[in-house]
């Protein structure tokens, strides 16, 4: 057992030492695999979702939505209005849904949200029995992430490959 532990420690140490990755290899991997580092457009979304309460009609909700919309137009903050009006399981504190990509949203909402500009809000959107008011706090355009942002990821990928190759060669 003692010998097994020593051999295992030596193998681990040898594999870690052998798995050093040069900056040149990282750059080669990045340039040969840029598409793997594609990042779609993201928006930082805040929204108010109004859902009917017991004995509340869609017309009642529309009136509430119009009241909220007018308050936003007059300068009220959407996070305050979200905390005041948006109740229910799908609402978030301050209406903040964080960074989302198009595929994260229902198609109907994504079509509205991704056509808004930073700092814009939507008119009330009726979908089924709910009403949504969207606000775009920020936008991150689609891009290929820079090598500086993915260097650690690439290094880990290459270390894993190198370690796997060394282990395979060692065992054969």
pLDDT at residue 103 in the model: 93
Put the strands of the sheet holding 96-101 in their side by side order.
96-101, 42-50, 130-140, 125-127
Contact 31, 137 (CB under 8 A): no
* pLDDT tens, position by position, 102-157: 999 999 999 999 999 999 999 999 998 899 999 999 999 999 999 999 999 999 99
* pLDDT tens, position by position, 39-68: 999 999 999 999 988 888 889 999 999 999
CB neighbours of 66 closer than 8 A, spacing ≥ 6?
A: 124
- Residue 7 pLDDT exceeds 80: no
- Tokens standing for residue 158: 């290459």
Separation CA 38–CA 40 (nearest Å): 7
pLDDT at residue 14 in the model: 57
Q: How many helices (H) and strands (E) does the chain have?
A: 6, 6
Whether pTM > 0.75 for this model: the answer is no
Contact 118, 139 (CB under 8 A): yes
């Amino acid at each position: 057992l003692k010998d097994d532990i020593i051999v295992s420690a030596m193998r681990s140490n040898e594999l870690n030492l052998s798995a050093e990755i040069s900056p040149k290899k990282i750059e080669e991997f990045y340039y040969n695999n840029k598409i793997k580092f594609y990042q779609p457009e993201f928006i930082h979304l805040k929204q108010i979702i109004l859902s009917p309460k017991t004995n509340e009609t869609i017309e009642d909700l529309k009136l509430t939505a119009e009241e909220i919309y007018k308050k936003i137009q007059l300068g009220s903050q959407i996070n305050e209005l979200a905390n005041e009006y948006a109740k229910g399981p799908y609402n978030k504190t301050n209406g903040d849904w964080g960074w989302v990509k198009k595929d994260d949203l229902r198609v109907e909402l994504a079509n509205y949200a991704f056509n808004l500009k930073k700092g814009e809000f939507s008119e009330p959107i009726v979908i089924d029995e709910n009403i949504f008011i969207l606000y775009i706090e920020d936008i991150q355009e689609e891009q290929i992430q820079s090598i500086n942002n993915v260097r650690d990821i690439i290094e880990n990928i290459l270390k894993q490959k190198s370690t796997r190759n060394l282990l395979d060669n060692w065992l054969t």
